[in-house]
Amino acid sequence: MDGTLLDSMGYWRHLAEQYLAEKGIQAEEGLNDTLLRMTVHQGAIYIKETYQIQESPEAIMEGIGKLMSENYSLRVQPKKGVVPFLKMLHHNHIQMCVATATDEYLAKEALKRTGIWKYFKGIYTCAGVGYDKSTPHIYEAALTYLDLAKEEVLVFEDAIHAARTARDAGFKVVGVYDAWEPETVKLQAMVYRYTKDFSEMEALIQ
């Protein structure tokens, strides 16, 4: 979802810094890169242990969640071409499911506000399945839910580590450009298809 459907990665990249700054704590250089590969809960544990914060991981998650909820409620927009592309897929009876590292309540908040939640059959989160995107569990769970053969499915990902996981599990992966992915060239080379924005994607279902 983030960086693929929604132009939200910039908000996530500065979120931990914002949370720590409000507590008068200077974040380490590269903190956000470290947190990107974690679920929200894993990130909260890392922040607690690294910065000796007294609050529980759950309280840290709540504080971070409130900050990101505000971004999702007021600011985050769909990526270029996403809305007409989803409309076209829906018109052609293509089933779709969201597989995201973001907690479900935050994801739904953004998807509903931007008007695109209605196009999806369901949502799976890393927290819900118990694994991050370094393993294919979330993709396999969504595949089972959609009740499709793996060769019938395309996985859309902007992050190279997630795209690699899905590809190595046997899925066809469409790489999606996002300005916050530092390994764009490598991502483009390893996926089944690559797009700079979703207005280019109509040919995939024709």
pLDDT attached to residue 115 = 95
Structure tokens at 113: 């506000």
pTM for this prediction? 0.82
Q: What is the pLDDT of residues 34-88, one digit of tens each?
A: 887 787 789 899 999 999 999 999 999 999 888 888 999 999 999 999 999 999 9
What band does 3 get if pLDDT is binned at 50, 70 and 90? Answer: very high
* Mean predicted confidence (pLDDT) in 176-204: 90
Strand, coil or helix: 63: helix
User: Within a 13 Å sphere around the CA of 131, how many CA atoms are in the beta-carbon half?
Assistant: 11
Whole-angstrom distance, CA of residue 126 vs CA of residue 149: 22
- For the chain, the average pLDDT equals 92
Structure tokens at 91: 């018109």
Structure tokens at 1: 């979802």
CB 89, CB 119: distance < 8 Å: yes
pLDDT attached to residue 37 = 74
CATH 3.40.50.1000 assigned to 82-205: yes
pLDDT attached to residue 123 = 97
Domain boundaries, the chain: 9-74, 82-205
Cα distances (Å, whole numbers) of residue 173 to 30, 152, 201: 28, 12, 13
Whole-angstrom distance, CA of residue 3 vs CA of residue 9: 5
Reported as type and span, the H/E element at residue 195 is strand 193-195
Q: For residue 125, give every residue at least 6 positions away whose Cβ sits within 8 Å of its Cβ, in sequence order, or none.
A: 99, 100, 101, 102, 103, 104, 107, 138
What single-letter DSSP state applies at residue 28? P
Tokens 């899905």 locate to 166
Kindly provide the b/e burial profile for residues 124-161, where b requires at least 16 CB atoms within 10 angstroms of the residue's own CB: bbbbebebbbeebbbbbbbbeeeeeeeeebbbbbbbbe
Start-end of H helices in 3-81: 9-13, 15-21, 31-35, 40-51, 57-74
